[in-house]
Amino acid sequence: MVTEGIIDTGTSRVGSSRDPLLVLAIAILALWLLAAIFAPWLGLSPNQIDLPRILAPPDASLWLGADDLGRPVLDRVLMGARTALAVGLGVVVVSALIGSLIGGFAALAGGLWDLLIVRLIDIFLAFPGILLAIALAGILGPGLGNLVIALASVGWVGYARLARAQVLSLRSREHVLAARALGVGDGRILLRHLLPLAAAPLLVEATFGVAAAVISEAGLSFLGLGVQPPAASWGSMIRDGVGALLVAPHLVLAPGIALLLVVLAINRVGDAWRDRLDVRGRVV
């Protein structure tokens, strides 16, 4: 029985590494990352207005057509990828750092500090995160930096809960107790001994967080609270294309499909990453 379980586990690992959907998701993400990184050096003209080409449909010279100002939609979609991924990665980095430190400190300190931080987390969870982000973005004003701050201000909660749970289960390990006995401070114990052990589930959470941040960026830009014109954003492109949806559907379809592909690819990679790190589902 044990041998059979080991063989099955090995087979599932090999199968997961050859998953065509996972390979496709990685390829899609790689292409979008390359487009986002090298977009300024690709000779694009996302803000070049050409009035004779207003609402031009896709053709050989304009692969995705032109928008309501005659600007090439393909160029704007590629520049929109730069905005989406910059916000997504920025929000996740800030949220993960703040949330991990707060949650880890709460679990390690215990007592009143833990109670206060848990109550603070509960307060944030009592309200829809996107509504808080909209309110903060409205207060801070539009802009890429303010958008990252608004989303990170509500995005740290999930990382804090996860980090707290992980540290609570790790703080009684022998090496942590030995470090305490040697007089090592709580901050050093948290950073050197506890958070590195909790890194795997936090990385999985961060992977899904990128997809959520990309969607939130598009939603806030759709409402006019994201990056401002003439900067390209998939959310603002969809908003501008709604008025001409029946005449030029490519204005909505192009950024919408781009957003769909990126979010699906990130979630597929996150699922694979989670399955790979989930030791509970493996047969020993």
**94 phi and psi, to 5 degrees?**
-65, -45
Range list of H helices, 171-249: 174-181, 186-189, 199-222, 234-242
What local confidence, expressed as pLDDT, does residue 230 receive?
A: 85
Q: Residue 279: what pLDDT?
A: 52
**Full set of structural domains in the chain with CATH:** 72-276 (1.10.3720.10)
Looking at residue 283, its pLDDT comes to 43
**Distance (Å, rounded) from C-alpha 265 to C-alpha 241?**
24
**How many distinct helices (H) and strands (E) make up the chain?**
11, 0
Question: What's residue 273's pLDDT?
Answer: 86
Asked if 114 and 202 touch (Cβ cutoff 8 Å), the reply is no
Q: Extract the tokens encoding 154.
A: 């509500």
Q: What angle do CA 99, 216, 23 make, to 5 degrees?
A: 85
pLDDT at 185: 77
Residue 269 makes CB contacts below 8 A (sequence gap 6+) with 22, 25, 26, 29, 207
Give the model's pLDDT for residue 38.
Answer: 87
* Tens-binned pLDDT, residue by residue, of the chain (284 aa): 444 443 344 444 434 457 888 999 999 999 999 988 887 788 788 888 888 899 999 988 889 989 989 899 999 999 999 999 999 999 999 999 999 999 999 998 888 999 999 999 999 988 888 888 999 988 988 888 899 999 999 999 999 999 999 988 888 788 777 877 877 777 788 888 888 888 889 999 999 999 999 999 999 999 888 888 888 899 999 999 998 888 999 999 999 999 999 999 999 999 998 888 765 544 44
